[in-house]
Structure 1
Amino acid sequence: MRDAQPQTIHLTDYQQPGYWINTTELTFELQDDATLVTSVLALEANSAVDSQGELTLHGQELELVAVELDGQALDASRYSTSDESLTISGLADQHTLSIVTRIQPDKNTALEGLYRSGGMYCTQCEAEGFRRITYYLDRPDVMSVFTTHIIADGSRYPVMLSNGNCVADETLADGRRKVTWSDPHRKPAYLFALVAGDLLSKEDSFTTMSGREVKLQIFVEPQNIDKTDYALDALKRSMRWDEETYGREYDLDIFMIVAVDDFNMGAMENKGLNIFNSSCVLANPATATDAAYQRIEAIVAHEYFHNWSGNRVTCRDWFQLSLKEGFTVFRDASFSADMNSATVKRIEDARLLRTVQFAEDGGPMAHPVQPDSFIEISNFYTVTIYEKGAEVVGMIHKILGADGFRKGSDLYFERHDGQAVTIYDFVAAMEDANGVDLSQFKLWYKQAGTPIVTAAAEYREDEQALYLTLHQQCPDTPGQSGKKPMWIPVQLGLIDSEGNDMAVNVSPAQNPQGLDTWTNASQVLHFTEEEQTFVFSGLKEQPVLSLFRDFSAPVKVRFIQPEEELLFRLQTDSDGFNRWDAGQQLMLGWIQQAQEGEFELPETARQVLAELLADESLDPAMVSYLLTLPSEAYVAEFSDQVDPHAIHLGRKRVRLAVAMALNEEFAACYQRLESDAEYQPEPEQMAARALKNLALSYWSLASDAGVKKAVSQFGKTDNMTDQMAAMVALVNSGDDELAPKTLDAFYEQWKQDPLVVNQWLSVQCGSSEIGTIERVKQLMEHEAFDWRNPNKIRSVLGAFANQALCHFHAEDGSGYALLADAIIRLNASNPQIASRLITPLTKWGRLVPQLSEKMKAELQRIADEPNLSRDVYEVVNKSLA
């Protein structure tokens, strides 16, 4: 276990390594009791650094067997070891260093480095897992050409994979098999991968834009071979899109994906050998929902896009993590928008930012997109680094326009191919390619927190002009106060009384650097000062203002519009995102109102919602979002002091009121969208199912006829999307007989499929109706639960703490105690998962006092535990500071 008072690492302390590793040759001997790893490293002194002939390599939980320098055993006086390092002294400028270590993958419950998942060997090396394999300069700026030999019993491990291209496959004199892989591209150790097991593969090929044929393979355990078609097709779509959109061609002869059941993350972009959590790659209509298909498509694309934005050009150090992750999330979001509905994708992105990232920005773990310091880098794989980082890249795209952004990305890849660089190298390429100064914009990378934009609009009839005054302020966050004004792109529209967009005319002098990234209907204002006033002329009537269209910046907006204007925008706004946003503002007001007493849906609102349900010209997926209430977590982000029970009650009242007021409309919508067509995971069908099942959720809440339809759909459907939707409707119907009967039937049908069972666990633990503490405890003792499997833990404890908020926030604090017990247990076995489970407990400061004290006490109980991992230590202590 790591030191209980670990050292903080600071960006300002970055120094280049004293030595480079030009080549790395690895030999793995997979044995029953342990694995023997031999590394041969070609060292070269870094002329820019005075190393004084000393080299310290990282290592963790390693047994050192032998050390040789230039073919000779190294005298013990020239090296020393600690729990986390091997230091060698008396070195010259160049050496060949050979190290033999013994590791125990079977006992590796942290799922970092080399470990076993069932009968399969696999690796996870990002961020610092490689140091669990051998002593190495485990840092992203040390890039090396890797050759990997895998030696094992070929009958037990017929598939042996690593990065690059397979260059040799032979049988040794003792009968074991030896497979050799060579990766011609320099890479840091975090991109190393190895897999060995009894696997089947689904194969295809892709012809690149230059005419090269690339072999594509997805490896899975034999029982899952029928669940690989969609991921393979998504991979080919991703490859084609990256060529067409960014001009990026794949660079190896083979691209492989492996599905692994026990995996801390979603997936990993190891060069040429992507390793995926099985939940992010396996799907067929019977077992995967539409949401799962869309997630698979997005994650396959994300990891493939990393081949250039992360692998060919990588990070200099881990403070630059958003260089690869923010840019790649932006790329995969753009891909998903092109493959499906751009409006729906933007709504999904904004919901995540507003619910999760804004909460992170407002809490004790708030940090910039480029952090200044950390204790454990694994704690910074956050929505701020990924999703807010993507929004920052998106704002650059908004400022420069599509053509300007493409020029910048081309220059970035050309300038830095094969290098480990910084976030500011990326920004510099955008500046240099477009002749734009983004110095002020870079504050988005260095200032933590969510900016608050206050807007005031005045229409002057005598001038036929609208005066819009914007004021920005970014709240203090831990370690940062007195924030400077940011460069905020504000995309807006003006709507006339007929619901049409008006021409938007603003003086070019009000936008800096001559940037012209707007159309007459939807303009991007460049808001760069603490307060600015923009004047729009030639307006013959007072317009309705549509601010921050397309979620043009990740900010909180304070702009009061009366309910009639919000309803008008919900009906007419040409920007689909802002239509949704107007509806969310309306519903948020209803929920806040309903916290004080009974609620009845206003007739004007009922009519608007009824019209939306009946309008067949609209995208059904968008309509489903327009009719979806803000989640309890979303509502909490708009509360100065959070009372989870009041929020739950208010939302429940509004949901029932909407269901009752539109019962007939929901029934008609459902019946209109019922279909006997064969299931296809394609956008049009997915959109129809989304609205149909939303209608079912409301209909079943309001009438027995809706409940009967849910029972029928549950029993007769041929796809998981409809079956899961029906089960959720029945679980939430409040029927004490139907809910357990449905859950039991579902488990009996699917108990042999772990991924489906995970959904069954999540439905129960995340339900405000049945997700009680007692239910969670029962499921933690169930045969389907496994403390070693991160997906099981997330399905039970993650769903409970993040979704069943009325139960998690039990007034006696028992929900907090349950989560704290789990964190303490996992601290010893899987610190990464333990630290990620802490997030719900970090919000204690915003709760009503009677809950806040109990939550803080559980955090303190965790902090008082001996032998805390760095992962848990950092999050808990920052949360209590």
Structure 2
Amino acid sequence: MTNQPQIKYRQDYRPPSHLISDIHLDFNLNEKKTRVTATSQIQRQTSEDTPLILNGENLILISVSVNDQIWPHYSQKDDHLIIEQLPKAFSLTIVNEIHPDKNTALEGLYLSGQTLCTQCESKGFRHITFFLDRPDVLARFTTRILADKKRYPYLLSNGNKIRQGELKDGRHWVEWADPFPKPSYLFALVAGDFDVLRDQFTTQSGRSVELALFVDKGHLDRADWAMSALKKAMKWDENRFGLEYDLDIYMIVAVDFFNMGAMENKGLNVFNSKYVLAKTETATDKDYLHIEAVIAHEYFHNWTGNRVTCRDWFQLSLKEGLTVFRDQEFSSDSGCRAVRRIENVRLMRSAQFAEDASPMAHPIRPDKVMEMNNFYTLTVYEKGAEVIRMLHTLLGESVFQAGMKRYISRHDGCAVTCDDFVQAMEDASGLDLTLFRRWYSQSGTPELIIRDHYDAQKQQYHLQVSQITPPTADQEKKYPLHIPLDIELYTKKGEVIPLQNQGQPIDSVLNVIKAEQTFIFDSVSSEPVPSLLREFSAPVKLDYPYTDQQLICLMQNARNDFSRWDASQRLLNSYIKKNIAEFHENEPLTLPLHLIEVFRHVLLNDNLSPALIAEILTIPSENEIAELSCFIDPDAIHFVRQKWLRFFSASLSETLWDQYQKHQTPIYRVTHTDTAKRALKNICLQYLAFGRTDIADQRVKTQYQTSSNMTDTFAALTAAVAAQLPCRDFLLSDFESRWHSDPLVMDKWFFLQATRPEKEVVDKVRALLTHPSFSLMNPNRVRALLGAFASSNPVVFHAKDGAGYTLFLEILTTLNTQNPQVAARLIEPLIRFKRYDSVRQKWMKQVLEKLKALNNLSKDLNEKILKALED
């Protein structure tokens, strides 16, 4: 029978009836049957004799004892253990059994290959033992692990190792103690056999911290980059935020089966191996940068998430939005700030804006949830980070850091709310952030409509700014927000015009706080070209009627590199939107030749970073284009984008080839200079692949065959697949034969197979489900093949014959019981059916209705399907 969803409301929060100060966990480990003994020190917080209600799922209860006496006053009901007639303070011992090898949902304790590991966020600990599994119950954990020494030579958990020993029967034990109180979602246990990379880090106060990185046997040569990233992040956090690591050891374990990217468990981070393992032959430049960012993100959680944690799961963005902001700043300080910012904004515009327009729209701090796993979203993470960035923009670096220090010192060791964070910033700055708080409670993507007027006689420039947030699935009525609007004015020759009013300088960040406002600038001697929303100073859509000339001026003269890129995107998007309308009217597409010279100028501009040039040259993805209008036509989008690729290729072929040759890197190094060169070289190759077929085929094949690194190899493969070159099948076959035994590398191959822009891809994807390197049990494989097909190949996935939808009905039916979290992520494109034509809508609704009718529909899928099918 379908699990009926129960809506939980933020306003219904109540403090826990009991608190747990300490818990001692004893694990007798075995992959088929593990016995867990949990002894907790508990204090009732209420005056009346309130029963203790513990969470527990898929557990076999053996015994319950209170103060070392068998306790008969308990019952089990609906995944809860209810214990009654308890004293005010007591020791509770619970013994239960679990079966890790049967745990395909990968929550709690499960088997990843030959390794036993845990994932407890958000509600995984209740799959290990009965507990008050909520983030506002913080306890000091001591963990004793007993297991077969030969099979599991490494037994790891949170905190510091305090003792260990061996038994005569070939088993051994290790005991760990974490001195810092933490919620159960931060608990971790790992048991297995690994290669280990060890290092040391000396903190700013002179403490020596042991660093250990555990990887599968034979992969030690892929661990160096992750270790260097960790040390770099530890140093950066001390320098930028004044935050020092607090335990004697910091451990990272890489596992193959993991629903997420990584987990910040105190002192023992469990990582998806994708975000740890890298070497020249197997990892691209982007892989290296992603590893660095994710390593940093989980380390930064030590303070923003662990030492200060969430009161309840509605406050998830308290830790995630803030920590994403911190890892973005780390990546920006470490590399090219403009390019990192562009990457963040691309994700917002292509994916988070789509989430805002979907049935699952929600604020960064939701007011109600059915299944918490469904709220690990781009809204909570990425938009949450943008809200933190707006605070940083409004306060400035020094005041923001003062607010951070106040926040940490005030709430260290506590479970708090988003309001507590904003209050710390308000107290540090003296600013009234009452209006700003709406960002936490209002969903949707605001739109800034800006119009201007220049008064030549008065030499005054007027900006009329209005803001509107369209209704979302969860909220009909919207209110004005506090929007920081960063601007700059230029003359038509590209000279900067100082901002002033009544003879006084004006800050470049305008505070938009009303539904309609007008800003007046004096001493403007000629009609200006405005650079608006610089650095994407707020997560909003901008409506301003730029002319081609204005955008070209900004592309050539803006002092802010992000603004140069943004102008190029707006210029391309204006014609792409026009082309889509022309496609629908069966008219020839407008492909203006004057744009070619603009982009040729960018290609030849030696004053710009090659990485920035590559970003400016990149045509918006099909998903980005889809967000330019409410109605999505995948066929039109794909056709128009392909036309632009061929138009650029034909018009700029000689310049592209010259730049391709100029930016070769004979020796592979992961330096910002070299990664920038490869980025530009390979975007040139992408365009050249759409040129004359025989020449393009030979150029792409040559790069593939002479490549000494995965960045160039994968770029050649990507170009061959995207342009459907004759060499593509040969190259893909060769790649498979070389890397069939390496799962992470094969994920790249699965991605390329799933994103081929060919109708036959549905049959290819179906056939690949039985490929020796594929496993529906492994989230990485599922994301690489099926996730890529649904999200990165929209023209085929959304084909009107419904073949893609039919395939996904079969996949989601299987994953519904096997791994509901992964299934709920895969279903996202289907629940957005209302943005498509009637034929596609009918197909997608049929799939959702059939899934809804499943007798065992998971809570994860149920919530999304119900919201999608609501009128």
Q: TM-score, normalised by structure 2?
A: 0.98
Aligned residue for 1:186, secondary structure, equals coil
1:70 corresponds to 2:55 = no
Residue 567 of structure 1 corresponds to 552
Q: Distance in 2 between matches of 1:871 and 1:648?
A: 32
Please give the alpha-carbon distance, in whole angstroms, between the structure 2 residues aligned to 1:532 and 1:400.
22
| 1:750 counterpart = 2:742 | no
Which of 617, 625, 628 is matched with 1:635 structurally?
625
For residue 600 of structure 1, report the CA deviation from its aligned partner. 6.0
From 58, 74, 80, the equivalent of 2:55 is 58
Distance 1:456 1:67, change over 3 A: same
Equivalent residue for 1:670? 660
| Number of the residue aligned with 2:35 | 36
Secondary structure at 2:178 match in 1: strand
Q: Is the 8 A contact 1:600 1:654 kept in 2?
A: no
Q: 1:323 to 1:43 in 2, by over 3 A?
A: same
For residues 836-876 of structure 1, give each alpha carbon's deviation from its aligned partner in whole angstroms, at most 9, with x where no partner exists: 11110111011122212221221111111111111111111
Measured in 2, the distance between the counterparts of 1:359 and 1:158 equals: 47
- 1:408 aligned onto 2:403: yes
Would the aligned equivalents of 2:502 and 2:522 in 1 still touch at CA under 8 Å?
no
The number of equivalent residue pairs is 864
- Residues 463-483 of structure 1 show CA distances to partners (whole Å, capped at 9, x for unaligned) of 111100000011111232221
- Displacement of 1:51 in angstroms is 5.5
1:512 paired residue number: none
Distance in 1, matches of 2:502 and 2:231, equals: 46
In structure 1, give the amino acid aligned to 2:60. E
Of 608-617 and 419-428, the range deviating more from structure 2 = 608-617
For residue 646 of structure 1, the aligned residue among 636, 639, 644 is: 636
- Show the counterpart of 2:720: 730
Does the Cα contact within 8 Å between 1:64 and 1:101 map onto a contact in 2? yes
- Aligned residue type for 1:543: P
Q: Is the Cα–Cα contact under 8 Å of residues 19 and 51 in structure 1 kept in the other structure?
A: no
1:824 correspondence with 2:809: no
Residue identity opposite 1:65 in structure 2 = I
Q: Deviations over 1:409-449 (max 9, x none)?
A: 01000000000000000000000011111000000000011
> Does 1:269 find its partner at 2:258?
no
**Cα gap change, 1:508 to 1:69, in 2 (>3 Å):** farther
Matched AA of 2:567: A
Q: TM-score, with normalisation over the residues of structure 1?
A: 0.97
1:311 is aligned to 2:311: no
Partner of 2:380: 385
| Structure 2 counterpart SS, 1:565 | helix
Deviations 1:627-653 (A, max 9, x none): 111111111111231111111111111
Q: Is the 8 A contact 2:254 2:271 kept in 1?
A: yes
Q: 2:776 aligns with which of 787, 808, 813?
A: 787
| Separation (CA, whole Å) in 2 of partners of 1:686 and 1:622 | 11
Cα drift, residue 173 of structure 1: 4.4
Corresponding residue number in structure 1 for 2:143: 148
Inter-partner Cα distance in structure 1 for 2:610 and 2:401: 32
Post-superposition offset of 1:700: 1.9
Q: 1:783 offset after TM fit, Å? A: 1.1
Q: How far apart are the structure 2 equivalents of 1:339 and 1:379? A: 32
Contact residue 601 and residue 661 of structure 1 kept, 8 A: no
Q: Classify the secondary structure of the residue corresponding to 1:121.
A: strand
Q: What is the CA–CA distance in structure 1 between the aligned matches of 2:385 and 2:731, rounded to whole Å?
A: 40
1: CA distance, partners of 2:575 / 2:168: 76
- Please point out which of 651, 667, 674 is paired with 1:685: 674
- Alpha carbons 1:506, 1:534 under 8 Å: kept: no
Q: What residue number does 1:181 align with?
A: 176
**1:25 and 2:24 correspond:** yes
Contact kept? 2:450, 2:544, Cα under 8 Å: yes
1:52, distance to aligned residue in structure 2 (A): 2.4
- Once the two structures are superposed, what CA deviation does each residue of 1:130-178 show, in whole Å capped at 9, x if it has no partner? 0000000000000000000000011111111000000111012443101
**Residues 203 and 218, structure 1, Cα contact 8 Å, conserved in 2:** yes
Structure 2 CA distance for aligned equivalents of residues 485 and 38 of structure 1: 53
Whole-angstrom distance in 2 between the partners of 1:754 and 1:604:
46
Structure 1 residue 496 displacement after superposition: 1.3
Following the alignment from structure 1 to structure 2, what is the Cα–Cα distance between the partners of residues 585 and 15? Answer: 48
- SS of 1:42's equivalent in the other structure is strand
What runs of 5+ residues in structure 1 fail to find an aligned partner?
510-515
Query: Are positions 1:364 and 2:349 aligned together?
Result: no
Q: Which residue of 2 aligns with 1:171?
A: 166
Deviation at 1:550, TM superposition (A): 0.3
Pairing 1:521-670 to 2, within 5 Å after superposition: 523-595=508-580, 596=582, 597-599=587-589, 601-670=591-660
| Aligned counterparts of 1:690 and 1:434: Cα–Cα separation in 2 | 41
Asked if 2 retains the 8 angstrom alpha-carbon contact of 1:601 and 1:658, the reply is no
Alignment partners' CA distance in 2, 1:733 and 1:476: 40
Specify the alignment match of 2:702 in structure 1: 712
Determine if contact 1:594/1:653 at 8 Å carries over to the other structure. Answer: no
2:503 and 2:190 map into 1 onto residues whose CA distance is 57
Against the structure 1 CA distance between its residues 293 and 240, is the aligned structure 2 distance closer, same or farther, given a 3 Å change threshold? same
The residue type paired with residue 710 of structure 2 is M
CA distance in 1, matches of 2:105, 2:825: 13
1:24 alignment partner AA: I
Q: d(CA) in 2 for partners of 1:302 and 1:820?
A: 35
Cα separation, 1, equivalents of 2:390 and 2:304: 18
SS in 1 for 2:218: helix
CA distance in 1, matches of 2:345, 2:760: 27
How far 1:604 sits from its partner (Å)? Answer: 1.9
Deviations 1:280-299 (A, max 9, x none): 11100110001111100000
Secondary structure at the counterpart of residue 607 of structure 1: helix
Worse-superposed segment, 170-179 or 789-798: 170-179
**Shift of residue 555, structure 1, vs aligned partner:** 0.4
Deviations 1:316-373 (A, max 9, x none): 0000000000000000000001111110111111111111111111111000111011
Q: Secondary structure at the match of 1:276?
A: strand
Deviations 1:103-136 (A, max 9, x none): 0000000000000001000000000000000000
In 1: Cα distance, 2:199 partner to 2:502 partner: 55
Contact 1:166 1:181 in 2 (8 A): yes
Identity of aligned residues (%): 45
Q: How does 1:742-781 map to 2 (within 5 A)?
A: 742-769=731-758, 772-781=761-770
Which residue number in structure 2 is paired with residue 279 of structure 1? 274
Per the alignment, in what secondary structure is the counterpart of residue 421 of structure 2? helix
The corresponding residue for 1:444 is 439
Residues in 2 aligned to 1:504 and 1:285: alpha-carbon distance in whole angstroms: 49
Task: Using the TM superposition, name which of 409-418 and 570-579 deviates more.
Answer: 570-579
Query: Shift of the alpha carbon at 1:594?
Result: 3.0
* Deviations 1:76-104 (CA, angstroms, capped at 9, x unpaired): xx100124110000011111000011000
What SS does structure 1 have at the residue aligned with 2:41? strand
Tell me by how many angstroms 1:222 deviates.
1.1
* Counterpart position of 1:841: 830
Instruction: Label 1:702 to 1:50 Cα distance change in 2 as closer, same or farther (>3 A).
Output: farther
Q: What root-mean-square deviation, in Å, do the aligned CA atoms of Structure 1 and Structure 2 show?
A: 1.4
SS of corresponding position for 1:223: coil
- Aligned positions of 1:287-306 closer than 5 A: 287-306=282-301
Q: Cα offset for 1:707?
A: 2.6
CA contact 2:577–2:628 (8 Å) conserved in 1: no
The secondary structure found in structure 1 opposite 2:448 is: strand
In structure 1, distance between residues paired with 2:49 and 2:766: 57
Partner of 1:513: none
The residue aligned with 1:702 is 691
Is the partner of 1:187 in helix, strand or coil?
Answer: coil
SS in 2 for 1:334: helix
Q: Deviations over 1:639-676 (max 9, x none)?
A: 23111111111111111111111111110110111131
* C-alpha deviation, 1:197, in angstroms: 0.3
CA contact (8 A) 2:243 2:303 kept: yes
Offset, 1:32: 4.8
Amino acid at match of 1:777: R
Asked if structure 1 preserves the Cα contact closer than 8 Å seen for 2:741 and 2:773, the reply is no
Distance 1:823 1:32, change over 3 A: closer
Distance 1:207 1:640 in 2: 53
